[in-house]
């Protein structure tokens, strides 16, 4: 009799343990799994998990946005834009989705569309430092130096440890012929992780354009 009771108790414990692993996954569970896959560079798996999250919750704007980021990381910008469009349609004040769509547009050389999205991102959330840097690059490439400098300055003000903003401001100073300040920003950018060889090469190229 005691053996039978022990077996029943053991069976109940085993079922309880297994049930913890057999619980239906929620959209949030799948979203978090996808984020982990993306962070580890497993982009196809990330997209598959975002797909499952969206299947469970078709109005999950964050899942669309971050699936778009995975597509963009793979260079599949058209698909990324479709996801950012959907995220924005679900949440018209989703600043990061506008910013991410702006990056995708820029990579497709759709500059007016990228500029619009960066402007909208800043309107919705003026605290995202990277957006100012990205918009500053557009201004720099268009030759609007004052606007580019303002954006790089703002990006650095919001995030003093942003290596790309220092590197891009160094490029702007170089084009303006202010080499001492360019050198100072180059040094800071390299301290923060920008590859020195590539930056020096780019600065020398820009000097030839002056």
| Domains located in the chain, CATH noted | 1-93 (1.25.40.10), 127-210 (1.25.40.10)
Q: Which two tokens stand for residue 142?
A: 């268009």
Burial class (CB in 10 A: 0-12, 13-18, 19+), 101: buried
Q: What is the largest CA-CA distance in the chain?
A: 94
Q: Which two tokens stand for residue 46?
A: 């990330």
pLDDT tens-digit profile of 137-166? 999 999 999 999 999 999 999 999 999 999
Residue 4 is predicted with a pLDDT of 45
Residue 144 is predicted with a pLDDT of 97
Of 33, 36, 85, 30, the C-alpha closest to 61 is 85
User: What span, in angstroms and rounded, lies between the C-alpha atoms of 158 and 121?
Assistant: 15
pLDDT tens-digit profile of 62-107? 999 999 999 999 999 999 999 999 999 999 999 999 999 999 999 9
Residue 101 in contact with residue 117, Cβ under 8 Å?
A: yes
């Amino acid at each position: 009799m005691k053996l039978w009771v022990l077996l029943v108790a053991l069976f109940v414990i085993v079922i309880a343990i297994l049930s913890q692993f057999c619980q239906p996954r929620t959209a949030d569970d799948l979203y978090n799994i996808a984020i982990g896959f993306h962070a580890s560079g497993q982009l196809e798996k990330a997209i598959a998990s975002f797909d499952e999250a969206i299947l469970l919750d078709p109005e999950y704007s964050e899942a669309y946005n971050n699936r778009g980021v995975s597509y963009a990381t793979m260079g599949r910008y058209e698909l990324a834009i479709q996801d950012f469009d959907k995220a924005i349609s679900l949440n018209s004040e989703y600043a990061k989705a506008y910013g991410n769509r702006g990056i995708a547009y820029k990579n497709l050389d759709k500059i007016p569309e990228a500029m619009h999205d960066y402007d909208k991102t800043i309107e919705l959330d003026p605290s995202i430092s990277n957006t100012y840097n990205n918009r500053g690059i557009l201004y720099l490439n268009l030759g609007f130096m004052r606007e580019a400098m303002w954006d790089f300055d703002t990006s650095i003000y919001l995030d003093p440890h942003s290596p790309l903003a220092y590197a891009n401001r160094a490029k702007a100073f170089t084009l303006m012929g202010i080499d001492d300040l360019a050198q100072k920003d180059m040094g800071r950018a390299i301290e923060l992780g920008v590859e020195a060889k590539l930056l020096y090469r780019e600065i020398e190229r820009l000097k030839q354009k002056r």
